[in-house]
Every structure is written in C-alpha cells, then in structure tokens.
Chain A
C-alpha cells in the first residue's frame, strides 16, 4: 500500500509544482539555517576529551588579600606559582600537572628557514599521561627532569617535520631563545577542541608545538603567554616563586568521585595551613571542577552562537507554520477527490496515512535541499574570521540529525492538515458539485 501512497503523493506534488517547490524550499531554508547554527553549537560545545572529561579536575585556590572578600566569591581562575608547585609536590592526586602557555623563538639548523616563533607549553611531566597525549617517538620527560630543570623538550609532529624533515627527531638539538634543548619525544597530532586545559590562549587554534619542563622554562626565562592577575605590585619578576600573581593552570586526575571529594578536602586543609602560616588571608575558598564544569564556568560557548541558534529555530518555526498553512490549503482543495475515495471504500485512517506520506515526501525533499543549504552555510561559517570556523563541518550525527529534523518537522507540519483533510465527508461531497 505504501507504494500506492508514494505514487499518489508524487502525482499530487507534481500537479501543483509551484506550491510543492515553495513548501520544499521553506522547509529546506528552515532546516538549513537550523542545522548550520546547531552544527556550530555542536562544535563549540563538544567534549574535548570524552574519555577523561569526568576524571580531570581543575584546581582553584584563593590567595588574595582579605580586602574585598565576600563569602561565595569565585576564587581566581588560575593559581600562583607557589601553590601550583606545592600541590604538584604533594602528589595527593592520581596525577597532577601545572602549566602555562608560552612563546619561544626557534632558530633552525637549516639555513633555508628563518627563525620563527612557536607556541609552547611549559608544564610538568605528568601532563602527557594525564591527557593521554599520544607519542610518535620517544617519551615524556620524568619527574626527575622536572626537579633538575633538565634541558629537554617534547615537540609536535609538525615542528619535527619542519625542523628536521621527519618525525625521527629524538636526540636532536633544538635552539630555543639562544639555548639548547634535547628533543626526547615527538607527539602525534593532538589538538583538543576547545583548548580546555588553558582557555586564556587560543581556544580553537592549532595547539602547541613545543613542550618544555616548567622548571626549565623558568631557568631559561622563556616568555609566558596567557593571563596574569596580581593583587599587589609584583616587583621586577612577576613569575617568581613568591610573586603575588596567579598565572598557572593546575590539573589533577582523580578517577573516582570519592577521590575527588577527598582531594577537595585536601585543598581546604591546604588553604587552612596557608592561612595559619600567614600566606593566605581569606578563609579557605577552593573549587575543584571537572572538564565540563570548567568549560561551563568559562562560557566556552559564546552567547552569540546560542542566540544564532535560537534565531534559526525561530526561522524554522515560521517555515513550518508556513508549510502547515500551505499543506492545509492543498489538502482541503483536494476534499472532493478525498470524498470520492472515501465513498469508494478508503477509511479515514487510509486517507490520513496517504496525506502524511505526502507531507513526509516534502520533508525528505526539504531535508536533501536543507542538507545542501546547511553544507553551504557551514562553508560560509568556515570563511568567517572566528577561531572555531575551520571546525564547522557536518559529521555523521549531525547529518542524521538534519534528516531527522526535516522529516519530523514536515510530518508534524502534516499532522493537522492531514487530519483536517481526512475529515472530508463523503456524503457532502457527492452533492456539492
């Protein structure tokens, strides 16, 4: 019977070509706009590290002066060097790493490349294992290297290929800011989106190319990048161990909720110790958020993207109301034909299904065209200057969602008209001519 409905639908759609095209285009526009903005939202709101987003926690402490403190205030978004180093030393989590972004000029051995700047991360040894960063060659440095500020570096595949022409770079020497570092590892492409572990630097960028032990970066005075907040004059070196500034990120890995709550208690008792020793002035004010909580706090999804999504969905709603109206006129216009069919033995249900099939067919065509429009829309988004722009692609779930949205919405739009259409009474129609 479905075959019969499909052939009837095709025939009917062909009869009022203009109307059919109008309905398809309306649905396609609505679906296209919605899917474009939803895909952008999907990219922005993606979990950057799905396997571990609930085991990685971001530490916040409050070393600021008492002046201006209100209970419930959010502590600073980063930690001081003193606290970061103390907590890494304490080893109270399964893994822990402190880090900051940085920039360093690299002078290649090859004369055909000019010196250039590479984005880097100055961190401690456990970061690689904690974030599951895959190595192509070599390994991470060790805790001992952290302790002794070893002159070592881990570099990205791209940097290795640029400097040495291959990823077999382990053991080679890197000239960084006039100093020499030994390459001990090359990592595979690893670029989480968003750049969750440090949201002060580019959130959807290409990622870092150079990883150096934090202790080494301080000895070599490598420049740092990101944000720094100081609560009093910092003196000549704002990155000194005792500087009154927060500028480091501290991540810990805790593989169970119990461990997380134990660690939170530990942070409170650490803060109390600091208060007793006079380093802190405020009562313990700590936060321990997992990756998702941290991204939400930082409003990683920009309000504009949400606003655009709502606008697009509003647009889709108008397109649907439009389609409901047009389908209604179309089905009511057919009431005499429907009356004859009813007289010839079609039940209301049969007619209802026949009309829904027709609406669904419009939905399918709308979905296909809408998919094209979404693809075009995303192409447009990719040419936007936004940082996340290159990531705006339709993936399989979004592709499925496009079809789902188009067909669901057109069948929904078809419900009322089909219901009204199948009410066409067989008795009345016989005489109305």
Chain B
C-alpha cells in the first residue's frame, strides 16, 4: 500500500485532517498526564503506614471538666481494655497515622539549628508492640525508660532515648549507623537507641518523603492530651472488640464522651478520600476523552467514506480488492494518529512542565509516552474499522452509475 497517495488526499482535506490530528494530539497530551497522575495518586494511596493496620482500632474520648486524676484513670482504662478477650495490645497514644491531630517538632544534629527536620513525635507506652512496627536496628524502650507526661512537659528529663524511623535515620545520618548518636529537639539532646520501620506520620509536611519522618519518645501519655486508646486485636473480631472497648470505657467513668471509635483502616480510607476522588475523576475524564475522540474519528471517517463512494467504486472496478480498500482507510487513520501522537507527545511534555510548576506534580516519566501512543493507535484503528469495512463493501458498479 502506498503512503504517498494517502498523504496527497489528506492534503486536499487539510482542515478536517488538521482538526482530527489536533484532537488526537490534545487527547494524547491529556491522557498521558492523566494516566500518570492516576498512577501517582494510586501509589500514594498504596503507601504502607508501617503498622499492623488491619488489627488496629482507635478510640478518642474526652472528660467533662478538668480531670485531676487523668494518669490514674488512664491506667485503669488500659487495664480494663487489656482484659477484653481478643485484645492483643493496648496503648494510650497521642496520635495515629492518618489522624487529624499531630504533634510535631524540629530536630537536628546540632543544638538550636533553625533549619532542622520537622518530624512527628509519637508518645505512649508499648507503642511498637501495639502499632506492630518492627525494630530494624538497635532496641525498643526498656520499661524503666518511660517518663511521665507532666514531667516530660516541664522539661524534667535529660538525654532521653528516642527511636527514629528508617527514613529519618537515612536523612539525618546518610547511611551511617544511627544507633547511639545524639540528636537535638531544639536545645534538648536525645540519644537514638533504635531505628524502626517507616511509621507514617499523621500529616505530610511538603515533600512526599517527609511522610515517614517520625520519632518515638518514651513518654507515657494520659488519654486527656488530645489522643486516645489504640487497640490491637484479631482483625476478624476488631469491630465487636472496639464496641466492647467503648462500653467498657463508659462503664469505668460515665461522665466522659466518646468522640470517635474507628478502625485504622477507616481512618486511612477517609484520609485518602480526596486522592481517591481525584483518581476517579481522572479515570472518568480519560475514558470520556477516549470515547469522544473515537466517535470523532468514526464521524470523520464515515464522512470521507461517503464522500469517496464513487472514487472507491472506480478503484474497485479497476481491480482493487476489498482488502485494498480496507487497508487504505486503516493506513490513512494510522498516518493521522501518528501525526496526532507526535504532536501530542510534545504537548504532553509541555503540559507536564506546566503542572510541575503550578501544582507540585512530579516529572512525567518517559514510559508514559509510549503507553499513551499505543492507546491512541489502538483507539484509532478500532474507531476506523466500522467505516473502513463499510467502504470495502461498496459495489464496483457504483462507478458506472451516473448520479
């Protein structure tokens, strides 16, 4: 099949050909970026939190009026919760991953460094066990290392131990051994005793890698400080155990209000709701775009087939087979799609630069371009098939008929 006659025909239908090329190009540009953004969001949603998420539930509550005996009440609650059958571990914790409250601090390798790394500080007894977060190097906290929250708040502790996340250790020590090193919270020194798996922080500060900058402090915290009870249990029974836990807490002190009782799984779902909505929107737009473009190709191809009916009849009369006619239209579509894709690649790249500048979108990796190209080639061939088959069935007798 010769390409030259096709090109010369297309040149005689410049406007229509240009429009279809432009449409394919725009679709290609948007679809490449959309597919990439979908992947980006999906990867974000799939990030592990560093915890035994399926086994965790979180209950937040608050007392009415000021409670003088918060620490004692917390101990009583913990004991009662631990006694519920099926509960594997319980901690009173100041915050959880994906939660909407967060405790943050700047840490650094030198004292009072204003350019420290912002990290999230988890507090609570037996947190590693309850979260199910693994120690990668060094050790967890000894029972006698824990400090009382009031004391910690007033700065009455020197050189406490701290456990840092793997990502934070990498950031601070660039691959060097972290265990045993000294770091500073402002002007307060602390010693790294262990490195834990990447425990995600409640919210992200700026760059995506900051999501895993977290530390664990050996501080026992009462439930009254904005956090709540973290319950680890058999995932199959988690819901009923959490309901039990709520009624247990109500029994211990009825003058309290349960604010939330949710599994970490639900908290996570809610946290990523906006990302999911964005991803669905992008999927919808991508599908709609592909559909519209396909229909546009069908419309134009049908028109050309109709316009060239007589010409096709003459070709058939002169010996062209049905296959020839079919391939003519398929090749024509391939040429148009290729032109559109070439232009679309450049547009996709430009669009990505624009998005990078305005919306903190990462750079479009090269492999998305061939994906977009392939998608549109296939789309074009599917769309043109109907009109092309119709063209191939035009009877040669058309040629001898006067209109």
Contact = CB atoms under 8 A, between A and B. Distances in A.
Contact between chain A and chain B defined by CB under 8 Å: yes
B307 A333 contact: yes
A340 to B, nearest CB: 15
B273 interface: yes
Contacts of B360: 303
Given A33-B285, A315-B285, A304 B274 contact: yes
B397 interface: no
Interface string B24-39: 0011001000100000
Contacts of A312: 285
Contact of B30 (A115, A306, A307, A315): A315
Interface in A299-338: 303-304, 306-308, 311-312, 314-315, 317-319, 321-322, 324-326, 328-330, 332-333
A22 B297 CA distance: 12
B299 interface: yes
Nearest to A103: B62
B84 interface: no
A236 B154 CA distance: 6
Nearest to A177: B65
A236 B23 contact: no
Interface stretch (B159-167, B173-181, B286-294): B286-294
A29 interface: yes
B292 A105 contact: no
A312 B299 CA distance: 23
B221 to A, nearest CB: 15
B307 A325 contact: no
B359 A303 contact: yes
Contacts of B114: 67-68
Contact of A385 (B19, B63, B270, B289): B270
Contacts of A223: 62
B370 to A, nearest CB: 21
Interface stretch (B139-147, B205-213, B275-283): B275-283
Nearest to A236: B154
A325 B20 CA distance: 7
B355 A307 contact: yes
Contacts of A117: 62, 257, 259
B269 to A, nearest CB: 9
A431 to B, nearest CB: 12
A326 B295 CA distance: 10
A116 B26 CA distance: 54
Nearest to A319: B292
B19 A321 contact: yes
B277 to A, nearest CB: 5
Contact of B65 (A105, A307, A311): A105
A157 B306 CA distance: 69
A144 interface: no
A151 to B, nearest CB: 15
B278 A304 contact: yes
B23 A318 contact: yes
Contacts of B63: 105
Contacts of B303: 329-330, 333
A285 B95 CA distance: 34
Given A306-B359, A329-B16, A333-B306, A178 B293 contact: no
A142 interface: no
A105 B27 CA distance: 55
Nearest to A417: B15
B400 interface: no
A405 to B, nearest CB: 17
Interface in B310-328: none
Interface in A77-134: 103, 105, 107, 115-117
A328 B295 contact: no
B277 A311 contact: no
B255 interface: yes
Contact of A317 (B26, B355, B361): B26
Contact of B115 (A68, A105, A308): A68
B64 A115 contact: yes
Nearest to B295: A22
B27 A328 contact: no
Contacts of A416: 15
Contacts of A326: 296, 299-300
B15 A420 contact: yes
Contacts of A115: 64, 255, 257
A325 B292 contact: no
Contacts of B281: 308, 311
A375 to B, nearest CB: 16
A26 interface: yes
Contacts of A420: 15
B113 to A, nearest CB: 9
A433 B65 CA distance: 94
Contacts of A149: none
Nearest to A321: B23
A325 B19 contact: yes
A221 interface: yes
Contacts of B22: 321
A105 B20 contact: no
Residue among A103, A107, A303, A329 with most chain B CB within 10 A: A329
A322 B154 contact: no
Contacts of B138: none
A236 B296 contact: no
Contact of A26 (B153, B292, B359, B403): B292
What are the 10 tightest A-B residue pairs by CB atom distance, in nearest-first order?
A68-B114, A178-B65, A385-B273, A325-B19, A329-B303, A105-B64, A322-B296, A321-B23, A318-B26, A177-B65
Given A236-B153, A312-B285, 7 more contacts: A117-B259, A232-B186, A303-B358, A322-B295, A328-B19, A386-B273, A416-B15
26 contacts: A26-B296, A68-B114, A103-B62, A115-B64, A115-B257, A177-B64, A178-B65, A221-B66, A311-B34, A312-B285, A315-B30, A318-B30, A322-B23, A322-B292, A322-B293, A325-B23, A329-B16, A329-B300, A333-B307, A384-B274, A385-B270, A385-B274, A385-B277, A386-B274, A386-B277, A433-B403
Interface of A: 19, 22, 26, 29, 33, 67-68, 103, 105, 107, 115-117, 177-179, 221, 223, 232-233, 235-236, 303-304, 306-308, 311-312, 314-315, 317-319, 321-322, 324-326, 328-330, 332-333, 384-386, 416, 420, 433
